[in-house]
A and B are shown apart, each in its own frame.
Chain A
């Protein structure tokens, strides 16, 4: 059936509607993290043999010519020696990467009469071709599947490695194939590949657990508070005391992802080429190196790609050695932190990427790392000020908690672990539920998101607490902004303790973990 007469195809049913177009297959381009429908149109005319691709493709798309030609020939099909034009529509959308190969090859086969074009209606294809005709793994299958579902296309051809991932989307048939021949067979329905196994959410998250930690009682308490209220945290401590180790365990005590959230996270990670194995069940933990650029952190480039902030969406963004980061890079985090999304403007277009993550920073208390230890610390006050100036400002303002991480004592190292992640997560989830109930209809979903008005409306203080906070304010321990942050954290502590109103003890505990104020001790500590 593939070697049908070339003379007959010019009057096929498909070509009747659009005169010049001989065959069309749908695929999807990835725009940021969203799929956009692209139709691959192939026109074959008589003339000198040529093969050109139009439609704003990048180098990988231009190089498709060679891959598609070889793949078609090596799969036992014929490559028409005529004038071939491939159009990727819409033309204004920039197309990136090799994922269009499969759709181009199928459309070409249909246009040259080797496949019946009717069979390709209702089929989307996605994947890179190898010269031998194999269909190679390609990032972003989940997004493509969601796009197919949204566009009402019932069948999707993807590389076999990506089938499990694409199958997470309900309502479409995913055909996971390993080469072009199998793709053609699947498209026509001649031979269907086995149905992919759907890997659903697992209840246990795996990953590092709090039960591995010895000592560190204070940081663990602080991490629970941070997780319960989604407060950003700054961990401060000498080198090698376990700041990174602790931060890595934060995802394990955050509430489990809902399926829709997990799908969103999996889609982002699939596009970034980080994941291809069913649904992600652990919250992401991203720890970019401090040499990262602003574009790498919040997303950017041409065409725009999601940055670490988006990869950490619904998870934890960990910035180790916070003072080593470029100041402009850190400042770029302001909008993502504030709005939970980042808008990247390129030319005429604006791309919005989700960035709802918890920020955990880690830093030495001073350049040498031994602040407070008068015998060992070699930093002068001006060293310290420089150190804090590098950190200070907008980013510190958005970190509600300041946590001291010290080397655990010998006896603490021998003691049994204080807590495992399962127990901690249960407490955290309960506290989150309380916040959700209280904040319903206010726009915020947890205490960390409350703005000053929401703090005023939703943080009810017991009389002792009222008195403690005004004493702290009067004595200059708190600034106006600091007062606000302490109230948010105290509300979370009260939620963890199931206190209806914020008690004095909650305020006092929150005060002990308060962030530095602008004219606070950071400047004069030596």
Chain B
């Protein structure tokens, strides 16, 4: 089945029985492509065993893949595959409210095609057509650690917000930490954002991001190569990184330790010849090893969204909309600066020399003006 490689999909489309990709009709999926997500789901347990090399494994065609990973079950799975009924898949996708597009369609995201072993199918929750448009609008992937510092979260959030204002869709994995913060930033700017999920896109993974999932879907899209009802296994997370990197015009790493999946995303983006950016971190912070390492290897320094658009379009071509927050002055500015320098509330207020109750009121003023965010009792993070 090596002919059924995404790279050769144009040839394949000639004998597509559905002819689903006529211009006017909404993009749909051909039978052959539908078999692939079914097969991956069937092989899920086997694929976990080769998780370390999942990117390579997924470039294999269906039959080779079964032979390579299924071991003793190979024959049985091959037979099951022959009996695969695409109608069932279609019905289940429709029941879950998913729209789908296969790589045979000319409207399949252009950038994603260049990934070796790109998904044959994309299932989308949200509006498929607008998702495909977003993919053409130079989306930027913002990825990073699940265990980010409050600084990292604020940076991710503000990058998301500024990119939203600049009209670049944010792509990320909706994971806890940097990913979710980037999505939230875009949503704060009321800009569409794209979440690439490891499991079926109608089900939020992780489940704790239910609310975020809802707001992502309402303005943008959640998508996955996995169809409805598929099990989420560790390999799915690794495999999803290639979709994030593949869809994005540029990948930016905010905070990542050495073993973070965000670095894998950045590596794939680099291999695809896409731009890779990183937000510099403190050299003594374990979360900064990833981005600082990328910077040492020549990645673009990202201090704000302006650095991202400059890298994409050339310096000075596009300007990110200016900060709309009221400017800081007087005591407010001094308190803000003391907090930005890393002090806790008590020492920040003491340093500025205001009375406690006045100082607390200033903190609330700063918060209402959007300069700081309370992240717990008496702890505030500065919003850059």
Interface residues of A (CB under 8 A from B): 217-218, 221, 234, 236-237, 365, 371-372, 374-375, 380-382, 385, 402-404, 406, 409, 468, 471-472, 475, 477, 505, 507-509, 511-513, 519, 521-526
Contact = CB atoms under 8 A, between A and B. Distances in A.
Contact of B376 (A371, A505, A513): A371
Given A371-B376, A524-B180, 9 more contacts: A218-B345, A236-B376, A236-B378, A380-B146, A380-B176, A382-B208, A402-B377, A403-B377, A509-B357
B364 interface: yes
Interface string B346-377: 11001000001110111111011010011111
Interface residues of B, number: 40
B289 to A, nearest CB: 14
B233 interface: no
Contacts of A217: 346, 356
Interface in B152-210: 153, 176-177, 180-181, 206, 208
Contacts of B365: 508
B269 to A, nearest CB: 25
A519 B149 contact: no
Contacts of A512: 360-361, 363-364, 374, 378
Contact of B375 (A475, A477, A524): A524
Contacts of B368: 468, 471-472, 475, 477, 511
Given A218-B346, A381-B176, A511-B367, A403 B378 contact: yes
B147 interface: yes
Interface in B209-225: 211
A167 B365 CA distance: 57
A526 B360 contact: no
B8 interface: no
Contacts of B344: 372, 406
B346 A409 contact: yes
A365 B377 contact: yes
A365 B379 CA distance: 10
B364 A508 contact: yes
B151 interface: yes
Given A217-B346, A526-B149, A374 B176 contact: no
Contact of A509 (B350, B364, B376): B364
Contacts of B147: 380-381, 526
22 contacts: A218-B360, A365-B376, A365-B377, A365-B379, A371-B376, A381-B146, A381-B177, A404-B379, A406-B345, A409-B347, A409-B350, A475-B368, A475-B370, A507-B364, A508-B360, A508-B365, A509-B364, A511-B364, A512-B378, A522-B376, A523-B208, A524-B181
A225 to B, nearest CB: 10
Contacts of B373: 521
Contacts of B149: 374, 526
**Residues of B contacting A: mostly:** helix
B143 to A, nearest CB: 16
A521 B361 contact: no
B265 interface: no
Contact of B377 (A236, A380, A385, A505): A236
B150 interface: yes
A171 B294 CA distance: 87
A285 B105 CA distance: 72
B257 interface: no
B300 interface: no
B378 A404 contact: yes
Name the residue among B362, B364, B365, B373 with the largest chain A CB count within 10 angstroms: B364
A472 B367 CA distance: 9
B120 interface: no
Nearest to A467: B368
Contacts of A468: 364, 368
Given A472-B368, A513-B360, A404 B377 contact: yes
B102 interface: no
B237 to A, nearest CB: 15
A521 B363 CA distance: 16
Nearest to A496: B357
A159 B60 CA distance: 92
Name the residue among A237, A402, A406 with the largest chain B CB count within 10 angstroms: A406
A234 B181 CA distance: 27
A88 to B, nearest CB: 54
Nearest to A381: B176
A218 B377 CA distance: 11
B254 interface: no
